[in-house]
Structure formats: C-alpha cells, structure tokens
A = this chain, B = another copy of it.
C-alpha cells in the first residue's frame, strides 16, 4: 500500500452553537494545517500515487472556498456544525469529487482512499478517511 500526502493551510472564523462546546460556542477562529493523503494499491505508470501538483492544486481549490472566511456564513456549510472532524470530511469529500471528476486524470483505478487530517493547533487534530469511488 502506497500513500502520498501534501500539506496546505486555511485561516477561518467560526462558532460552534451547542452548549456542549463551552467557550467554543463564541465566535473564534483557527488556522487549520491540512494534510491530504491518497492511498493506493500500487503506483501508476509514472511511478507515483498521483500527480503531486494535481493533489496540491485540488486541495487548494477545496480550501479556497473556506480560507479567510467566517464559516458561519459560508452557504455550503449552512446548518453544519463545523467541528474539526466535520471539516475534515468536507475537505475529503471535495477531493473525492475531484478524483471522480477527472482532475487526477483517467488512470486512477489504483487509488483506494482519501484521508484529510486537520491540525487545529500543535496539540490537537482530527481526521476523516473515506473510500474513493470505483472508476466508471
């Protein structure tokens, strides 16, 4: 099993409107250092899991919709409690869509899962890992 990971980051404001979250119910913010990983059964014909530029570019596209924003006002996240876990899934789903949509080329049959890890500080992080759809 192979993996390929790239790191990027986003700086967002949000609140977690549920008494469960204590002081994080207030409007505050976070820098999320984001590590996006593709796992594959094998390398492709170029000897890689994926084009690292495509992975970095795809991740940037997904983050661009969130970066420098107040997530409480992002329409795609309306009604969503934007915990680190939930944001990890949102980013992973965005990358999975780009794999299906061809952003990584047609030669993606070896890819198995995508995992997104969000570091909210030096002492706390969360991740989400999901299968990639079979190529059509």
Select A128's contact among B2, B117, B125, beta carbons within 8 Å: B2
Beyond A27-B70, A31-B121, A47-B81, is A126–B12 a contact (Cβ under 8 Å)? no
Interface size class of A (residues with CB under 8 A): 35 or more
Select A43's contact among B69, B83, B121, B122, beta carbons within 8 Å: B83
Q: Tell me how far the C-beta of A30 lies from the nearest C-beta in chain B, rounded to whole angstroms.
A: 5
Closest to A21 in B: B46
Beyond A124-B5, A126-B4, is A30–B46 a contact (Cβ under 8 Å)? no
Whether A121 contacts B33 by the Cβ 8 Å rule is: yes
Sample (22) of A-B pairs whose CB atoms are under 8 Å apart = A2-B126, A2-B128, A4-B84, A4-B124, A4-B125, A7-B123, A7-B124, A13-B28, A13-B70, A21-B46, A23-B67, A24-B68, A27-B69, A28-B29, A28-B69, A30-B30, A33-B122, A43-B86, A47-B83, A47-B85, A48-B83, A122-B123
Whether B121 contacts A26 by the Cβ 8 Å rule is: no
The 8 A CB mask of A58-71 against B (1 = contact, 0 = none) is 00000000011110
Query: Could you say which residues of chain B place their CB within 8 Å of the CB of A123?
Result: 6-9, 122
